[in-house]
Amino acid sequence: MKYTEEHEWLRVEDDVVVVGITEHAAEQLGDVVFVELPDVGTTVSKDDEVVVIESVKAASDILAPIDGEIVEVNEAIVDEPGKVNDDPENDAWFFKIKVEDLGPMDDMMDEAAYKAFIG
Amino acid sequence: MANPHLDADLAQTVFHDLHVELGAKMVPFAGYSMPVQYPLGVMKEHLHTRTGAGLFDVSHMGQVILRGDNPATALERLVPVSIVPLKEGRQRYALFTNEDGGILDDLMVANRGDHLFLVVNAACKEADVAHMKANLADCEVEVIEDRALLALQGPKAEAALAAFVPSAADMVFMDVAVVESDFGELWISRSGYTGEDGYEISVSSDSAVEFARALLAQDGVEPIGLGARDSLRLEAGLCLYGNDIDETTTPVEAALEWAMQKARRTGGEREGGFPGAERILAELEKGATRRRVGILPEGRAPMRAGTQLFASADATEPMGQVTSGAFGPSIERPMSMGYVAIDHAETGTVIYAEVRGKRLPATVADMPFRPSTYKR
């Protein structure tokens, strides 16, 4: 698992990268009530706004953590946004992205570094 | 939970240390440090209030006593509301209006025999007091500084309060009473701002924390923050001053005709005689050009305050705006209220909201979004 300063996690699974938000992020957001995911097939660049997530408090954008093509999205969290609070680091993944170059992941935080980052 | 950046300029209510002890996340609100949520979280706090009972600190609101030879007649000079016939032991919703017919504040007015007791919004209280002192020279305006205010709301509120004040169970919606208790004199009204049955209780600051702890120890009572208070009042179709009503909205535009009784309308026995009467009375006869309505988005995306509203998917100019919008935990869908041009105000009209650059359909809907459960 790798982590970004935007509180996303990335997990390499076969030839794709699975992306979601961290427990810490879910806790800070509060109860999630709405998730809008990108269309499968969309090509995204790092820092593109790819997901809109709304909690009882406010709307937030989730940025693409890496360049690639969206190959699968998790419709279950669109139907039940509360899953993002229940299990953000497993069941409630956001999308899978096919990445040409995994190199940028080397620069991302590992779990220990992320834990230090969120204090 | 840590609260690292409490602004030193913020006022605190007498319950501040209790909120922190209960794990509240404190935020600035109307010049006060107030609990926005407790560890339960906004969604569960909301749902708990609808099934158990929620205890809210509303001590930031202003408590004012109006005394004089005839305070009801005097106050009618500032509100388009019939106060004179209000019976002792009863309370009524009212509005301070300005010369343009806009709303300066909304408030509760109770007849307590030889005086009126008013509860006004926190952000407006200084201006309201100045407004009354300037315009009600025949009255004494006393701001109550040594009492806290709690709201106890929800189906278990009656049992929780009756444990200490048995007579509270006999009160009905909008009754008020002054009652002696183990916590000193309590000023109780059977009202609130959640759409639930419940009470607002003024208690001496000296015994307020002890009283709050006693209520929290009752079956099914949880502390509830401002976050859930907002979604509860929105489901109940109630206005938040500063969002849904303000100096630029008239009572008729705001769909608050029900708060203006016949006696103060054209042809009534005490017609007019309040600031902005000319415009407000005309609008009561002919209607206004825009109207506050409930809005139910067709999809799941909340339409929040400031969202522009359009008559069609391709209309170029907005015809209205959302003033409050959130997810309704009890109705399990997003809900909004806002102003629309009068020809789009009818229930069932399909309108469009621009959310993140997309026109999303919504329907004009009756409020409350969830039926209220006041004890009539």
Residue B71 lies in a domain: no
Q: Which domain holds residue B190?
A: 11-56+146-235
Q: What is the mean pLDDT of chain A?
A: 95
Quick check: A80 contacting B, CB < 8 Å? Answer: no
Clarify whether residues B163 and B311 are in a common domain: no
pLDDT value at B95 more than 60: yes
Q: Does residue B84 form part of some domain? A: no
CB contact residues (below 8 A), chain A span 48-67, against chain B: 52, 54, 56-57, 59
Q: SS3 for B139-185, per residue?
A: EEEEECCCEEEEEEECCCHHHHHHCCCHHHHHCCCCEEEEEEECCEE
Contacts of A59 in chain B (CB under 8 A): 302, 304
State how far residue B312 is from chain A, nearest Cα, in angstroms. 23
Q: What is the pLDDT of residues A53-106, one digit of tens each?
A: 999 888 899 999 999 999 999 999 999 999 999 999 999 999 999 999 999 999
Looking at the structure, do residues B27 and B159 belong to the same domain, yes or no? yes
- CB contact under 8 Å between B326 and A56, yes or no, is yes
* ipTM of this predicted structure: 0.84
Contacts of A36 in chain B (CB under 8 A): 301
For chain B, how many structural domains are there in total?
Answer: 2
CB contact under 8 A, A81 and B43: no
Report yes or no on B104 lying in a domain: no
- The per-residue pLDDT for range B187-209, each reduced to its tens digit, is 999 999 999 999 999 999 999 99
With a pLDDT cut of 70, the percent of chain B lying above it is 98
**pLDDT for residue B5 is more than 80:** no
Q: CB neighbours (10 Å) of residue A74?
A: 20
- How many Cβ atoms sit within 10 Å of the Cβ of residue B361? 13
Q: Are residues B153 and B231 in the same domain?
A: yes
pLDDT tens-digit profile of B96-131?
A: 999 999 999 999 999 999 999 999 999 999 999 999
pLDDT at position B173: 98
Query: Is residue B267 a part of any domain in this protein?
Result: no
pLDDT value for A58? 84
Q: Is there a contact between A15 and A102 (Cβ–Cβ < 8 Å)?
A: no
Does some domain include residue B243? no
The verdict on B293 and B375 lying in the same domain is yes
Say whether both B315 and B192 belong to one domain: no
Residue type, B180: E
Q: Output the pLDDT for position B228.
A: 97
Q: What rounded mean pLDDT belongs to chain B?
A: 96
Q: Name the minimum distance, in Å, from the CA of A56 to any CA of chain B.
A: 6
B319 in a domain, yes or no? yes
The architecture in CATH of the region A2-101 reads: Beta Barrel (2.40)
Chain A environment of B44 (Cβ under 8 Å): 31
| Residues B211 and B337 grouped into a single domain | no
What residue ranges do the domains of chain A occupy? 2-101
The domain that holds B228 is classified in CATH as 3.30.1360.120
Is there a single domain that holds both residue B165 and residue B300?
no
Domain boundary among B191, B213, B235: B235
Mark whether B44 and B150 lie in a shared domain.
Answer: yes
Q: Does residue B152 share a domain with residue B31? A: yes
